Structure 1
Amino acid sequence: MTLDLSWPVLWNGLFWPLIRLTFFISVGVFVGILIESLNWTRYAARLAAPLARRARLKDISAASFSMAFFSGITANNMLAEARERGELTERELILSNLFNSLPTYFLHLPTVFFIAAPFIGAAAGVYVSLTACAAVLRTLAITLSGRFLLPPLEEGCLPCRLDEMEEKRDRSSALQKTWKRFMKRLPKIITITAPIYVLFFFLRQLGLFSWLQGLMAGQVGVFSFLPPEALGIVGFHMAAEFTAGLAAAGALITDSQLTSPQVVLALLLGNVLSTPMRAFRHQFPYYAGIFKPRMALKLIVHNQLLRIVSIVVVGVAYAMFI
């Protein structure tokens, strides 16, 4: 396959997305450092204190969980900074990142629902509800895992420890400290994120990801528990994108060829099979700009494995009760 290096393709497929990605990562990193410098994490941590305490996660993990409702990049940067300072072990970092699955999901939930509703109507509510249940299940699993995998926290409640940590911060000095830390971290983000994104652009141009998705889509026939029409939804979901699967599902519901439960199961299956490749393609460049590349890969793998298991569990339970 020949490379298309025309200016519109380079601008729309490489330069502008890379500029936008770097900008939002930079803003997220700056905000995360500023929040820590002003000691505002103590207020964010209070919101997630009860759940974090049960998971034996530290104050910074609770603060990151709360921040993830607003910005996943900022939440991840808070964890990366804590890891660099030695405040989190590798295991605590992985569990804290997985712990953020619920707020990260709810950050994108309105978009998913309002895209799906025009295509599949009431089935959109069922699909979104099931994926939300899977997100809750993941958080509960991490909370339970933390009690077995992490040591007990220090004595005293989280708000009490935060009160002991309270200290007045001079805002001007906090801004100077933030800017200094930001300028030290920014080159690392650019020198890691940009080359990876460029590599992925050329791999996409060469058709590697389309080939892999097509290869996976060709294997949907093994899922004989769904009617052939539903397998078409799975194939579109994998070979193209979520919207393509929704368009196919909407057409089949309109023609009464599939019931709503069959459409929901097909979309769940497409989600399980297609998301890992897309997650690696889209998340790895920015994860590698925040964490070290090896850790970025490890976090993505853990996230996708947990996500797949949770959706399969919810999907099987739904299939048994419909």
Structure 2
Amino acid sequence: MDFAHLWHSLLWPLGRLLVSLAIGLLVANLIEALNWTRFLARLAAPIIRLGHLKDVVGASFSMAFFSGMAANSLLAEAYAAKKLTDRELILANLFNSLPTYFLHLPQMFFITVPFLGTRPAALYVGLTLTAALLRTVAILAYGRVVLPPLPEGCVVCHLQDGQFSWQKALRKGLKRFARRIRTMVLFTVPIYIGIHYLVVGGAFGAMEKWLSTHLGLLSFMTPQAVSIVMFQVVAEFTAGLAAAGAMLGAGDLTTRQVVLALLVGNILSTPMRAFRHQFPYYAGIFKPKAAMRLIVHNQALRAASIALVTVGYAIFG
């Protein structure tokens, strides 16, 4: 392979991807640091009434748009003070999945676009957003059925208004960017190069024969799509995106195949991601037993909602 071919088939696409990724990640982190979701927190009071949820749940919901740790700390304090039952604590934690999703939405979108392009990224992010909305609707419907109506409360009484500083927000955004871009480059470069040479060397033909006899569960997917799933399961979301971007760039997968592979990988990586990242964080706020119970419910509902939109997209997409 001469240098001209190497430049056009690998080095130039990879360099362009890294530049786009850095720009997108910087913009996303600055948007998050500037608390773009501030106005959405005002929706908490009327929404919680639909699900017969207490005002402290609404306050936690509002906080979750800015800080998941602050939101969970508020729930932990209310639970310790017997202001929330076990069922209410679980519902409150599940209810916070929507603001937590919105908190990281800019970063997810601006990271996904450089790898996949605008249309595939919009499809994937849109489907995961649909799953988050479905979870919220299900929680409100369940709460309305099983919980008794509550008197009018005061959501804002549980909130503490801090002074907003543009300087602090920008510094926070730049610090996050510097930390995140290093990790992403470490994953992206070797995976992108590896996928390129696997495609050139015909490795996926051999993988297809192996899958047909050893992995019937994913037999409906091509070997290239399965590799995206595996990268998500054993590494992280960025690794799956890097593999997906390489496949799309080489023309080996369609947009539909890539989106389905990312959704399937999202579902299968749920247990590993939960215990790798969530348990230490949750155990520091709640007692270990409560932390485990919250994680199991949270991840089970998350996986079920994504599975539902995956099936819907596979049939109607």
Question: Is TM more than 0.5 here?
Answer: yes
The answer on 1:148 being equivalent to 2:145 is: yes
Distance, in Å, in 1 between the alignment partners of 2:243 and 2:40 is 42
Shift of residue 220 of structure 1?
Answer: 5.9
Q: Aligned Cα RMSD in Å?
A: 2.3
Query: Structure 1's 120 and 162: CA in aligned 2 closer, same or farther, altered over 3 A?
Result: closer
| TM-score (norm. length: structure 2) | 0.67
For the pair 1:97 / 2:111, whether they are aligned, the reply is no
Displacement after TM superposition at 1:286 (Å) = 1.5
- Paired with 2:215 and 2:268, the residues of 1 have a C-alpha distance of 9
Report the CA distance between 1:223 and its aligned residue: 1.5
Unmatched tracts of structure 1, length 5 or more: 1-42, 170-217
The equivalent residue for 1:237 is: 232
Number of the residue aligned with 1:288: 283
> SS at 1:290's partner residue?
coil
Contact 1:133 1:314 survives alignment (8 Å): yes
8 Å Cα contact 1:80-1:291 kept in structure 2: yes
Match of 2:258 among 263, 267, 284: 263
Letter in 1 for 2:258: V
Q: Is the 8 A contact 2:60 2:71 kept in 1?
A: yes
Structure 2 CA distance for aligned equivalents of residues 126 and 141 of structure 1: 22
Q: CA deviation at 1:222?
A: 1.5
Note if 1:56 corresponds to 2:52: yes
CA distance in 2: counterparts of 1:110 and 1:312, whole angstroms? 23
Aligned to 2:292: 297
CA distance in 2: counterparts of 1:46 and 1:266, whole angstroms: 36
Instruction: Select 1:80's aligned residue among 76, 87, 91.
Output: 76
User: 2: distance between equivalents of 1:240 and 1:277?
Assistant: 10
Question: What fraction of aligned residue pairs are identical, expressed as a percent?
Answer: 62
Q: Which residue of 1 aligns with 2:10?
A: none
Aligned partners of 2:124 and 2:263 also within 8 Å: yes
Secondary structure of the 2:284 match is helix
Report the Cα distance in structure 2 between the residues aligned to 1:139 and 1:314, rounded to whole angstroms: 14
1:47 paired to 2:43: yes
C-alpha deviation, 1:102, in angstroms = 0.2
Contact 1:234–1:269 (8 Å) recurs in 2? yes
Whole-angstrom CA distance in 1 between matches of 2:314 and 2:40: 38
In structure 1, what residue type is equivalent to 2:267? V
Once the two structures are overlaid, the 10-residue window that deviates more, 68-77 or 249-258, is 249-258
Aligned amino acid, residue 68 of structure 1:
A
- Structure 2 unaligned residues grouped into runs of 5+: 1-38, 161-210
Residues matched between the structures, number? 225
TM-score (norm 1): 0.66
Of residues 113, 116, 138 in structure 2, which corresponds to 1:117?
113
Runs of 4+ in 1 over 6 A off after TM superposition: none
1:71 corresponding residue in structure 2: 67
The letter of the residue matching 1:282 is H
Deviation at residue 45 of structure 1 after TM alignment: 7.7
For the structure 1 residues 292 and 44, does the alpha-carbon distance in structure 2 shift closer, same or farther, using more than 3 Å as the test?
farther
Alignment deviations for residues 145-169 of structure 1 (CA, whole Å, 9 cap, x no partner): 1012212212xx44xx569x79xx9
Letter in 2 for 1:126: L
**Cα distance, 1:284–1:102 mapped onto 2, change above 3 Å:** same
* Whole-Å separation in 1 of the counterparts to 2:41 and 2:102: 18
Alpha carbons of 1:44 and 1:296: their partners in 2 closer, same or farther (altered >3 Å)?
Answer: same
Counterparts of 1:176-191 in structure 2, within 5 Å, are none
Preserved contact between residue 61 and residue 79 of structure 1 (Cα < 8 Å) = yes
Instruction: Write out per-residue CA displacement over residues 13-51 of structure 1, whole angstroms, 9 at most, x where no aligned residue.
Output: xxxxxxxxxxxxxxxxxxxxxxxxxxxxxx998631111
Pick one of 250, 254, 258 that aligns with 2:249: 254
Q: Tell me the CA shift for residue 269 of structure 1.
A: 0.3
8 Å contact kept, 2:56–2:155: no
Q: 1:125 to 1:253 in 2, by over 3 A?
A: same
